[in-house]
């Protein structure tokens, strides 16, 4: 079990009171060599070979003002990332989620996917996390190789800044299947959350990114990330992942949350008549979601009126489950100051930091 008190106490935040935790910050390598240096000899010559997103965003995928004149993408300079994004926004902890384009679940070769994940983790612990104490880390694993992924979790998971294991939204089969459970067992054992972040949906060997098939455009693809997550969430809840691993904490990042009331109500309603198909569930399905699952806010839902947003927060139990994320430096990010709409003070505290502290079991005093 990770000792939560070993997180370094230094912080450049103005007080030792936590005020904001950012659940999704994308750091990236400027040059592939930063990653490939950690690949084993058998893959040195291959470099990074990963499926890519084939949908085009006309505005690009980054905040355009942060793209340097020489084309250097934001997130590559980690000291700058700390001094601008963390300092200027008074962020006490920022979860580094890396660079989506590995698409580790969409790679056909399991061994290569494991080694690419290992190389990323080496880069993360050697070259990223030491830059600033406020950085938290997300391990990469290869879901097609659950046993080897469990080894990676145990190997890297005791770094006190590592707080979660990231898996792609897209995969070959839903995440509730017992084939994946060695990863969950390891994560629970190491006191790490499992976080799902969009990538691999519809790329390479993964499934179509929507139940309806392959969309025509990025607007379709990006709109329906929540629909993909619904499939994963139904799977992990009904297959009994949280019955088997009651202390496992799970996060869904960047797939929205406005669909949660519908999803929880529908699942509970169906359970009343179809309970016999999942008799291991010891309580109504939505209770497992409220107890074990968190959702990152970005891209924030923008209904027709602010009142409607507050109704969503109330219906989904945002005070228990929603965590702020900026998604910096991506094009659809939410600004830490202006991104959150008005909400009740107690809910805002929960969303800004309290829920994230629980999700990652972070110490209250930095």
Q: Which of residues 153-212 bind other proteins (CB under 8 A)?
A: 178
The minimum distance between CB 220 and other proteins, in angstroms, equals 34
Q: Residue 156 or residue 245: which is nearer to other proteins going by CB?
A: 245
In the list 31, 69, 272, 305, the residue contacting other proteins (rule: CB under 8 A) is 272
Q: Choose, by CB under 8 A, the member of 42, 80, 275, 364 that binds other proteins.
A: 275
- CB-based burial label for 19 (10 Å; 0-12, 13-18, 19+): middle
**Torsion region of 158: left, alpha or beta (phi above 0 gives left; psi -120 to 50 gives alpha):** alpha
**SS3 label, residue 14:** coil
Q: How far is CA 288 from CA 169, 239, 274, in A?
A: 20, 12, 17
Q: Whole-number minimum distance, CB 206 to other proteins, in Å? A: 25
> If you write DSSP's letter for every residue of 202-216 in order, what string do you get?
TSTTSPPSBTTB--S
- Near other proteins by CB under 8 A, which window of 141-149, 199-207, 227-235, 237-245? 237-245
Nearer to other proteins, 102 or 271 (CB): 271
Q: Is 241 in the site for other proteins (CB under 8 A)?
A: yes
Contact 263, 206 (CB under 8 A): no
Pick the closer one to other proteins by CB: 110 or 266.
266
- Least CB distance from residue 264 to other proteins, whole Å? 15
Out of 243, 331, 339, 341, point to the residue binding other proteins (CB under 8 A).
243
Taking the CB of residue 321, how many other CB atoms lie within 10 A of it? 24
According to the binding rule CB under 8 A, does residue 234 interact with other proteins?
no
Q: Residues 324, 336: contact at Cβ < 8 Å?
A: yes
For the chain, strand residue ranges (E) read: 21-25, 93-96, 135-140, 162-168, 193-197, 250-252, 293-296, 322-323
Q: Which is nearer to other proteins, 284 or 349 (CB)?
A: 284
The reply to whether 239 sits near other proteins by the rule CB under 8 A is: yes
Beta-carbon neighbour count of residue 72 at 10 Å?
12
Q: What mask of x and - would describe binding to other proteins in positions 127 to 146, judged by CB under 8 A?
A: --------------------
Cβ-Cβ contacts under 8 Å for 51 (sequence gap 6 or more): 103, 106, 107, 200, 203, 204, 205
Which residue, 216 or 276, is less far from other proteins as judged by CB? 276
Choose, by CB under 8 A, the member of 41, 58, 71, 279 that binds other proteins.
279
Contacts with other proteins, residue ranges (CB under 8 A): 178, 239-241, 243-244, 271-277, 279-280, 284
């Amino acid at each position: 079990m990770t000792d939560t008190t070993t997180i370094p106490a230094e912080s450049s935040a103005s007080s030792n009171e936590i005020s904001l935790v950012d659940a999704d910050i994308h750091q990236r390598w400027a040059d592939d060599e930063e990653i490939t240096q950690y690949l084993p000899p058998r893959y040195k010559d291959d470099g990074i070979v990963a499926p890519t997103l084939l949908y085009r965003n006309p505005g690009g995928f980054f905040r355009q003002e942060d793209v340097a004149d020489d084309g250097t993408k934001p997130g590559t300079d980690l000291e700058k990332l700390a001094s601008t994004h963390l300092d200027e926004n008074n962020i006490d902890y920022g979860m580094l989620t890396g660079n989506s384009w590995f698409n580790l679940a969409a790679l056909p070769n399991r061994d290569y996917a494991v080694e690419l994940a290992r190389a990323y983790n080496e880069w993360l612990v050697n070259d990223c996390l030491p830059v600033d104490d406020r950085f938290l880390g997300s391990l990469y694993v290869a879901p097609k190789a659950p046993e080897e992924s469990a080894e990676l979790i145990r190997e890297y998971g005791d770094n006190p800044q590592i707080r979660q294991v990231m898996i792609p939204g897209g995969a070959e089969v839903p995440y509730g299947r017992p084939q994946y459970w060695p990863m969950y067992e390891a994560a629970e054992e190491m006191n790490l959350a499992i976080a799902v972040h969009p990538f691999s949906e519809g790329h390479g060997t993964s499934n179509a990114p929507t139940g309806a098939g392959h969309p025509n455009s990025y607007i379709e693809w990006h709109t329906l990330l929540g629909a993909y997550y619904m499939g994963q969430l139904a799977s992990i809840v009904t297959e009994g992942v949280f019955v088997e691993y009651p202390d496992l904490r799970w996060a869904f990042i960047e797939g929205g949350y406005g669909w949660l009331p519908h999803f929880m109500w529908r699942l509970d309603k169906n359970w009343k008549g179809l309970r016999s198909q999942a008799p291991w569930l010891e309580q109504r399905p939505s209770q497992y979601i409220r107890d074990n699952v968190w959702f990152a806010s970005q891209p924030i839902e923008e209904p027709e009126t602010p009142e409607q947003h507050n109704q969503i927060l109330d219906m989904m139990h945002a005070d228990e489950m929603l965590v702020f994320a900026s998604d910096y430096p991506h094009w659809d990010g939410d600004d830490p100051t202006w991104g959150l709409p008005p909400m009740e003070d107690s809910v805002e505290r929960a969303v800004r930091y309290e829920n994230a502290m629980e999700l990652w079991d972070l110490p209250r005093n930095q």
